[in-house]
């Protein structure tokens, strides 16, 4: 892969990873409700889950979805339904003390599994593999795309969880937290619109 193509890949990976979407909205909310440290398994789960999804798409799953479009549509709607449920849980959360008690941040396994029904993750994976792989060095470029995303993932997800944890003290006021959680739930649902078209 030429250097200019690799730099374009890194820019694509960073831009798609740092921009708002379901993962980043949930990380921001988790940072507020649970703090940065308790959100680390969620962050790592996103990274590992997306890496596995990306490699699977590169190794043939993308072609299967292209061949059976109804499968892709089913995945998008399953992901959308799951996101609406998560948005409901976020929107009805009312206190940080509740977040520290019964409620728990998303686990590593749940965050990794969520990538398989996350519409934005699928769009990113299919686009990256279609754009940045080379037929002559296919396996090498599939792995290179995967590692490019892995390299930008940690700073991207950490930024969103970090922003949330910085606002934690300010949002310890129950009224502010209530409206923050409702706003984040609405934004999470709205993030589905471009992906479900």
Q: How far apart are CA 6 and CA 134, in angstroms?
A: 12
Provide the pLDDT for residue 187. Answer: 77
Provide the pLDDT for residue 97. Answer: 46
Provide the pLDDT for residue 99. Answer: 44
Non-local CB neighbours of 97 within 8 Å, separated by 6+ positions: none
Provide the pLDDT for residue 103. Answer: 72
Q: How far apart are CA 109 and CA 129, in angstroms?
A: 24
Q: How far apart are CA 189 and CA 163, in angstroms?
A: 20
Distance of CA 52 to the CA centre of its chain: 13
Q: Where along the chain do its domains lie?
A: 20-97+104-193
Q: How far apart are CA 152 and CA 51, in angstroms?
A: 11
Provide the pLDDT for residue 44. Answer: 96
Tell me if 126 sits within 8 A of 62, measured CB to CB.
yes
Q: How far apart are CA 148 and CA 145, in angstroms?
A: 5
Three-state DSSP class for residue 18? helix
Provide the pLDDT for residue 153. Answer: 92
Per-residue pLDDT for the chain (197 aa), expressed as one digit of tens each?
788 888 889 988 998 888 878 899 889 989 988 999 999 999 999 999 999 999 999 998 767 766 777 876 777 677 677 778 777 877 776 656 444 456 788 999 999 999 988 888 888 898 888 888 888 888 999 999 999 999 999 899 999 999 988 888 887 778 887 888 788 778 777 766 655 55
Angle among Cα 114, 119, 125 to the nearest 5 degrees reads 90
Q: How many C-beta atoms surround the C-beta of residue 62 within 10 A?
A: 21
3-state helix/strand/coil string of 82-99: HHHHHHHHHHHCCCHHHH
φ, ψ (nearest 5 deg) of residue 152: -90, -10
């Amino acid at each position: 892969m030429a250097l200019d193509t690799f730099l374009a890949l890194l820019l694509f990976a960073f831009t798609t990873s740092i921009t708002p979407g379901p993962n980043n909205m949930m990380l921001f909310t988790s940072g507020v409700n649970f703090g940065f440290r308790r959100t680390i398994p969620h962050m790592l789960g996103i990274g590992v889950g997306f890496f596995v999804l990306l490699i699977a798409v590169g190794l043939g799953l993308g072609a299967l979805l292209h061949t059976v479009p109804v499968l892709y549509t089913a995945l998008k709607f399953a992901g959308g339904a799951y996101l609406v449920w998560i948005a409901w849980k976020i929107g009805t959360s009312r206190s940080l003390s509740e977040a520290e008690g019964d409620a728990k941040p998303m686990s590593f396994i749940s965050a990794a599994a969520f990538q398989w029904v996350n519409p934005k993750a699928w769009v990113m994976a299919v686009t990256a593999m279609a754009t940045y792989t080379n037929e002559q060095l296919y396996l090498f470029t599939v792995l290179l795309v995967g590692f490019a995303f892995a390299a930008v993932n940690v700073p991207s997800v950490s930024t969103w969880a970090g922003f949330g944890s910085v606002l934690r003290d300010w949002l310890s006021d129950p009224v502010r937290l209530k409206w923050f959680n409702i706003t984040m739930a609405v934004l999470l649902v709205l993030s589905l619109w471009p992906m479900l078209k």
